[in-house]
């Protein structure tokens, strides 16, 4: 076989191989188109079967709102809304109760403050009245004869008698002390000294 014949044979083999590959590729493309186009055509036909009468409009198929899953979700939302409403009502009632309690406490505090002020005023009046009474009684003892006043002081509690003597003028107190028994005069003197013992000297 000549070189020209061998060259032609090689070219024929290559050409045949290329043709075979091309055939396979075209066949594969046709098969793929057929597989993809079939379902699409079927869907199109199904949609056309659901068209409205005479107007060619397509009707979408959608699951209705009465499906079990949707009903369950709606029931859950409703239950949660009811729980929230109940809790909100409870909180409102609690806030009203707290407000009423706060008002009652404020009123009680105001009443206690008024009672305290009244008590302080009463005590101040009582102290003033007692001081006035003691001053008046001291003046009476000062006007008495020392002998008569000494007889009264002899019967008094030493601390009580020392309080009156400390208020009296020195000369009147000295006259009363002179009329006391030695025991009574000593006891009253001790009380008077004890009352002044803690007085600063400087």
pLDDT score at 94: 92
Residue corresponding to tokens 């107190």: 173
| Counted domains in the chain | 2
Instruction: Tell me whether residue 56 is in a domain.
Output: yes
**Residue after which a domain boundary falls, among 61, 76, 93:** 61
More confident residue, 139 or 54: 139
Instruction: Tell me whether residue 88 is in a domain.
Output: no
- Mean pLDDT (whole number) for 28-43: 58
Residue corresponding to tokens 């008569």: 148
pTM of the model: 0.36
pLDDT tens figures, 53-87: 444 444 444 445 558 888 888 888 999 999 999 99
Instruction: Tell me whether residue 96 is in a domain.
Output: no
- Give residue 40's Cα distance to chain centre: 66
**Residue after which a domain boundary falls, among 45, 61, 77:** 61
- Give residue 86's Cα distance to chain centre: 21
Residue 165 and residue 193 in contact, taking contact as beta carbons nearer than 8 Å: no
pLDDT score at 100: 92
Band (183; pLDDT cuts 50, 70, 90): very high
Alpha-carbon span 197 to 1, nearest angstrom? 159
- Judged on CB neighbours under 10 Å (0-12, 13-18, 19+), 194 is exposed
Instruction: Tell me whether residue 123 is in a domain.
Output: no
Instruction: Tell me whether residue 109 is in a domain.
Output: no
Band (153; pLDDT cuts 50, 70, 90): very high
What's the number of CA atoms in the CB half-sphere (13 Å) around residue 9? 6
pLDDT tens figures, 107-119: 988 888 888 887 7
**Residue after which a domain boundary falls, among 61, 82, 105:** 61
pLDDT score at 120: 76
Q: What is the mean pLDDT of the chain?
A: 76
Instruction: Tell me whether residue 68 is in a domain.
Output: no
Instruction: Tell me whether residue 137 is in a domain.
Output: no
* Domain containing residue 196: 144-202
Instruction: Tell me whether residue 198 is in a domain.
Output: yes
Nearby residues of 181 by Cβ (< 8 Å), 6 or more positions away: 154
Band (44; pLDDT cuts 50, 70, 90): low
């Amino acid at each position: 076989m000549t070189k020209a014949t061998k060259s032609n044979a090689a070219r024929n083999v290559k050409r045949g191989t290329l043709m075979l590959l091309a055939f396979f590729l075209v066949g594969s493309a046709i098969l793929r188109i057929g597989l993809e186009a079939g379902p699409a055509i079927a869907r199109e036909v199904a949609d056309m079967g659901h068209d409205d009468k005479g107007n060619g409009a397509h009707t979408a198929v959608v699951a209705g709102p009465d499906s079990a899953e949707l009903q369950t979700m709606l029931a859950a939302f409703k239950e949660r809304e009811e729980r929230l409403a109940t809790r909100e009502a409870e909180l409102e009632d609690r806030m009203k109760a707290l407000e009423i309690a706060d008002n009652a406490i404020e009123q009680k505090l105001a009443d206690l403050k008024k009672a305290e002020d009244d008590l302080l005023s009463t005590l101040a009046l009582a102290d003033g009245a007692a001081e006035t009474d003691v001053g008046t009684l001291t003046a009476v003892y000062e006007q008495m004869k020392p002998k008569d006043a000494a007889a009264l002081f002899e019967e008094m509690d030493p601390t009580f008698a020392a309080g009156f003597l400390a208020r009296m003028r020195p000369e009147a107190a000295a006259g009363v002390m002179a009329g006391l028994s030695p025991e009574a005069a000593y006891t009253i003197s001790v009380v008077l000294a004890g009352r002044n013992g803690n007085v600063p000297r400087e």
